[in-house]
Amino acid sequence: MSLQKNMHELEQRLNGLSASEGLALMADLFPGKVVFSTSLGQEDQVITELIASHQLPIHIFSLDTGRLFPETLELLGRTESKYKTRIQVYYPERESVEKLVADNGINGFYNSVENRKSCCFVRKVEPLKRALAGNEVWVTGLRAEQSANRGGMKRVEWDEGNQILKYNPLLDWTYDQMLDYIKEKGIPYNPLHDKGFISIGCAPCTRAILPGEDARAGRWWWEDSKKECGLHAK
């Protein structure tokens, strides 16, 4: 199937399918070319469980930025152990990190949105491009209700920056539906979620949210922005 052609047809085929059925369909249509990026968040843990429990031929990878919470790294090990799978980890290029820190300081991302986006690019966007290279479908854990700028996303989209189809199997899942599934299946999750950390990224850039705050308010909490790092730029 052509990547950009027949996207409407693909969307129609996915409508009415469960997340696991949709993942199986994509793996069948694009054999050996479907990859899933996990940040070990609750949504991503659900997708990992779906891939593992149905033994779907979808490669799982993660990005270690060098600034992750210890709880996130510990969860990576627990997840591999539970599902008896290896999650490939991509790291930022050493030279790029060293230059970033030399230019902006160890915590220079607090000083401006531009600095923060530069940090995200070096630590996340560039490693992601390496991980996606040569593949045709990128599976993500995005949900429409996570934020206003994600509410307009479709189940299948063309990611121009990475020249790849993006598939969002949990797009229409609610937060409560996700939590119920995690409990039902005994899926391991980050203990920080129980402390008010709903969306978890790098440790210096994430805080717990307050009652009534948007789920992503704790990301880059010191700035007024769309709360995106560039991985899912529109």
User: Using CA atoms, how far apart are residues 48 and 36, in angstroms rounded to an integer?
Assistant: 8
- β-bridge mates for residue 62, sequence order: 89
The correct CATH number of 7-195 out of 3.40.50.620, 3.40.50.300, 3.40.50.720, 3.40.50.200 is: 3.40.50.620
- β-bridge mates for residue 167, sequence order: 139, 156
Domain boundaries in the chain? 7-195
Residue 234 has pLDDT above 60, yes or no: no
What's the token pair of residue 128? 């992601």
179-182, Cβ contacts within 8 angstroms, sequence gap of 24 or more = 179/42, 181/46, 182/42, 182/45, 182/46
- Mind listing the pLDDT tens digit for each residue in 129-147? 999 999 999 999 999 887 5
User: Using CA atoms, how far apart are residues 229 and 234, in angstroms rounded to an integer?
Assistant: 11
- Mind listing the pLDDT tens digit for each residue in 107-131? 999 999 999 999 999 999 999 999 9
SS3 26: helix
- Mind listing the pLDDT tens digit for each residue in 159-176? 999 999 999 999 999 999
The pLDDT value given to residue 226: 58
User: Using CA atoms, how far apart are residues 64 and 209, in angstroms rounded to an integer?
Assistant: 23
**Residue 225 DSSP symbol:** S
User: Using CA atoms, how far apart are residues 172 and 170, in angstroms rounded to an integer?
Assistant: 6
Q: Of 222, 186, 193, 192, which Cα lies nearest the Cα of 70?
A: 192
- β-bridge mates for residue 164, sequence order: 159
**pLDDT category of residue 2 using cuts at 50, 70 and 90:** low
Pairing of strands 88-90, 59-63: parallel
**Burial class (CB within 10 angstroms; exposed 0-12, middle 13-18, buried 19+) of 202:** buried
Rg (CA), the chain: 17
Average pLDDT, stretch 52-72?
Answer: 98
Q: Are 83 and 56 in contact, with CB atoms under 8 Å apart? A: no
**pLDDT category of residue 183 using cuts at 50, 70 and 90:** very high
Q: Which residues have a catalytic role annotated?
A: 229
